[in-house]
Amino acid sequence: MSINSIHWFRKGLRLHDNPALLEAARGSDTLRCVYFLDPWFAGASNRGVNRWRFLLQCLEDLDSSLRKLNSCLFVVRGQPANIFPRLFKEWKVSRLTFECDSEPFGKERDAAIKKLASEAGVEVITKISHTLHDLDRITELNGGQPPLTYKRFQTLVSSMEPPEPPLEPLSRELLGNCVTPVRDHHRERYGVPLLDELGFDTESLDPAVWPGGESEALMRLEQHLGPDSNTAWQENFERPKMNSSPLLASPLGLSPYLRFGCLSCRLFYYKLTELYNKVKKNGSPSISLYDKLLWREFFYTAASNNPRFDRMEGNPICIRIPWDRNPEALAKWAEAKTGFPWIDAIMTQLRQEGWIHHLARHAVACFLTRGDLWISWEEGMKVFEELLLDADWSVNAGSWLCHSCSSFFQQFFHCYCPVGFGRRIDPNGDFIRRYIPVLRDFPAKFIYDPWNAPDDVQRAAKCVIGVDYPKPMVNHAEASRLNIERMRQIYQHVFAQIELCRMGSRCLTSSVFHRCTLFPPLVVIVSISMYSNVLYMNLMKMYIFTICVFSFSTEY
């Protein structure tokens, strides 16, 4: 009896280190690789043109790589649940493989597809390859609950075996006698669509700063970590000193490729380890070497069983903060019209290129939420979801929870100044001149706060503030002081609730759980005997520290 396999691409848009794809090819007579694309979803989804272009380039590159193996990609228009039953019959499918998805909505979707496959007599094989570890195992080691502090997460990961080594890419040798049946008119029916076919205007679209695809990802990885790499940190594994250049998109950047799975996180992990061992020669690498990968893993773990992870209401790990609703202010932030050149330059870069530096992300997130505008992190998350190439549901939501001090990070008294912070990174203002050209002729002394420039300086720069460039939409000093006080009061109430719950057995009842409305997860966490005393003491230390330094809040 012949074995006819489908490999379903979602993330994991690559041939290297793709265990589910290798399972699809193993012993199969036919193999079809599919990707589902809903044309209606293209117009209705919160995904901007740069993200769609990157995805389509990934699919084009994947198709090209498969064609070198005498195969090809089938881009199927429609929803998997609606189309798979037909494909199972039409292609006489006996095996379906795909990469595990740790996110709640992905689990729900996959459970439905597994049910359809079972009813059709199709074997389903799934493999973990989008994360370094089995996230369920991390949760199991933590007593059945995902770790909610990065330090605890690091402790758990340190106790586990290293990630599985990356697997070899699919090759003609591994395919053996397996073939991909291709009919006439394949391009018309299953080809990768163009952007304009999805309804996007491409005439005014700038060239891609981040070309999509596995080929680009592997080339960048080799330049970044390969034997000929001359990056500054290769010799000492320390970040280079900040200047204006890190704020620009790096030709060695990898984050969008990890997000779409064009690059295996396990390959990155082991290449990094290999380079460390080559340079250092003695000693084992510290877990901090993999910090960026582990933060990604941490947010995936925290979100894995929390379908409300991207929302405040109903999210058991999010402080319920009474954010303001201000559509006009939100629009000014999103459209780079705040009147703060540093913030506007960042948001312009994001909209044009689809990427911003992690310090820039901190700055604009703080400005929108707890720093200046007091607007919900959910609104900022939606803008990033639309514009940011590497925006991932778990990582994007987790980052906004953290930046807004709604979860994971409680040092709300640290506030990024929209003038001073950028000036310290890029004193000459070259980043602003690049993305806000109307300000390019301002002297460095005033480019971060041009409203303070004398009238003659503004006229000489051919940019009058309030006419050619907007005035600041808020008084940062006043807004940040007010918002820090708001956060202090909220946290004071949170810790008072925790103390009340610790003092009475009623804290474990659902009625008190719902009364602890600001931060219900802490109520649950402190009730767990294994961690309650340690966590409680750490939280109280944080609270006391917060109160002590509140009057001397740092803007950096």
Residue 247 DSSP code: G
Give the largest Cα separation in the chain, rounded.
85
Q: Which residues make Cβ contacts (< 8 Å) with residue 70, sequence separation at least 6?
A: 172, 175, 179, 180
Query: Pairing state of beta strands 30-37 and 73-77?
Result: parallel
Q: 221 labelled as ligand-binding? A: no
List the beta bridge partners of residue 6: 32, 96
3-class SS at 370?
A: helix
Nearest to 42 by CA among 203, 197, 206: 197
List the beta bridge partners of residue 32: 6
Q: 263 labelled as ligand-binding? A: no
Question: How many other C-beta atoms lie within 10 A of the C-beta of residue 413?
Answer: 23
Residue 444 DSSP code: T
3-class SS at 324?
A: strand
Rg (CA), the chain: 25
Separation of alpha carbons 378 and 385, rounded Å: 10
Q: What DSSP string describes 108-175?
A: HHHHHHHHHHHHTT-EEEEE--SSSS-HHHHHHHTTTS---SHHHHHHHHHTSPPPPPPPPPP-HHHH
Q: 427 labelled as ligand-binding? A: no
Separation of alpha carbons 412 and 406, rounded Å: 9
Confirm if 318 and 401 have CB atoms less than 8 A apart: yes
For residue 5, give the H/E element and its range: strand 4-9
Sheet holding 73-77, edge to edge: 73-77, 30-37, 4-9, 95-99, 123-127
Q: 80 labelled as ligand-binding? A: no
Q: 251 labelled as ligand-binding? A: yes
Which backbone phi and psi does 469 adopt, to 5 degrees?
-145, 140
Q: 461 labelled as ligand-binding? A: no
Confirm if 96 and 124 have CB atoms less than 8 A apart: yes
Q: 228 labelled as ligand-binding? A: no
Q: 373 labelled as ligand-binding? A: no
Contacts 24+ apart (CB under 8 A), 328-336: 329/373, 329/375, 329/473, 330/368, 330/373, 330/375, 330/379, 332/470, 332/473, 333/364, 333/367, 333/368, 333/373, 333/375, 333/380, 333/383, 334/383, 336/436
Alpha helices (H) in 45-103, listed in sequence order: 49-67, 80-90
**CA 384 to chain CA centroid, nearest Å:** 9
Q: 184 labelled as ligand-binding? A: no
Q: 253 labelled as ligand-binding? A: yes
Q: 407 labelled as ligand-binding? A: no
Q: 29 labelled as ligand-binding? A: no
Residue 398 Cα distances to 121, 317, 392, 402, angstroms: 39, 10, 10, 6
Q: 247 labelled as ligand-binding? A: yes
Q: Which residues make Cβ contacts (< 8 Å) with residue 61, sequence separation at least 6?
A: 212, 213, 214, 215, 216, 262
Q: Which residues make Cβ contacts (< 8 Å) with residue 187, sequence separation at least 6?
A: none
Q: 389 labelled as ligand-binding? A: no
Q: Cite the annotated binding site for FAD by residue number.
A: 245-255, 390-392
Q: Cite the annotated binding site by residue number.
A: 245-255, 390-392
